[in-house]
Amino acid sequence: MLGIIIVHQTVAVAVTVLQSRKRPKRELVKEILISLTGLRPGVECWRVAAGREQKIGEVYNSMDLLSTMRGVDIAFEAVPGGVLQCFAVLKHLQDGVALSKQAIASIGVSAICVGFTSASISYDNDTDVRLRRSSPRYYGWVPDGIGATAAFLAMTANSSLLLILRSTSAGFLLLVNPMLLLLLTLFEIAVQFMLKIARGDFSSTTKVDGVIGGVFVDVLMRLGMTIALMYSGIIYLCNPMIFGGVGWGIAMVLAVLSSIFAAVAYFSATDESDMGDLDKPTGWGIVGGLSAAFVVSLVLLVGFTKPKYRSQYWSTERCKDCVMQMFTDPEATDENKMKLHKWRSVIWKDVRDEVREFTHANWEKFERERPPWFTPQFQDGAELDMLPEEARGRAIKARKIQRESDFNLKLGSVALNSSVAITSSRSECASILPVS
């Protein structure tokens, strides 16, 4: 258990550093302490409810960071805990030890908590008014009225059952040989990675600088998302900008197949005299019952989804297609076209020239009109070579002032006049970058 806690906290701190590494060191330290003390979920929920705006230099907005941290909790804390619980139950059955009702209830409660968290990630993002307005093709599948409650319950049941099914399968393999569980897990992760690579869709949309940042996002964070997908089936992950419908669907099919493989491996490698109460009728009853319940929950989930969005569960649309379609769509709004600047340019390199031309032609208009999405944070994230010459010069000067301001902030406890420097620098920066 100590190992699980250490790994979980390490990943949580790594995501925090990725998020705030361009902010002043004092703020970065504060954010790291929030993660280490376990206050991150509550803090991010409060920030989302309060409508906190994304700050200059931050990688994620509050909603995205909340969803990411929930995924970290599932992948690196809830999943290992669920596997250990199910392994302990199966081991007790194999040894002929009577199971207490509390042990079974504990697994059920843990699974429901994970299911609720998984459902919350999908529900919160899909019902976000801004996302539904800007990307109606991908957000809006949760029905209105009582249908929303039914869809949420279906998502919770689906994720809960998937966690128990997967954890039970892992428990069977641990009884045989832990190496089998490792190999099966690596195989399924490799399937998801190779699917992305083969389709030319491996790069994440998360905008980070440098090789290390790219490797962290594309490999390590994708690894965590794959584990969360395998064990909880978060519906939000079937968005084409993450795994897409085909990746999500393959994970669901592999969940059932891996449970059958685990049962076959256990009964093939274990003598009947060593099975105890975990004999073939009992074992196959557990696997068969969980698999059937999981499939039924999938059918209900699809049924409660708005009809025009049901194809999301098996869609073959790629992330890069989704991103570029936001620009090439004849009905695309200015907000959607400019949204490409928020994502890594390697994804939309095929329309880079067109994006630059559109940006050059409209940047001054956006500075005058100041639409809600044209925030200082958005402007700071745009690549300099994509900006008109005059705006590029202002941006270079503003970013230099921002760095000097942050440096003065770090020296605040030493230099008595640092507060004056910060105030003047912030004021000058604000006069250069239009504030919405």
The full set of domain ranges for the chain reads 62-317, 343-432
- Once rounded to an integer, what is the mean pLDDT over residues 55-72? 89
- Once rounded to an integer, what is the mean pLDDT over residues 303-315? 93
Reply yes or no on whether the pLDDT at 363 is more than 80: yes
Spatial separation of the C-alpha atoms in residues 2 and 24, rounded to whole Å: 32
Lowest mean pLDDT among 28-37, 324-333, 407-416: 407-416
pLDDT of residue 406: 53
Burial class (CB in 10 A: 0-12, 13-18, 19+), 342: middle
> φ, ψ for residue 383 (rounded to 5)?
-70, 140
pLDDT of residue 435: 42
pLDDT of residue 402: 64
Q: Give me Rg for the CA atoms of the chain.
A: 24
Reply yes or no on whether the pLDDT at 61 is more than 80: yes
The pLDDT mean for the chain works out to: 87
Reply yes or no on whether the pLDDT at 257 is more than 90: yes
Spatial separation of the C-alpha atoms in residues 84 and 91, rounded to whole Å: 10
Reply yes or no on whether the pLDDT at 274 is more than 90: no
pLDDT of residue 408: 53
Lowest mean pLDDT among 137-146, 248-257, 416-425: 416-425
Share of the chain above pLDDT 70, in %: 90
What are the structure tokens assigned to 431, written together?
């006069």
Report the largest interatomic distance among the alpha carbons of the chain, rounded to a whole angstrom. Answer: 81
Reply yes or no on whether the pLDDT at 111 is more than 90: yes
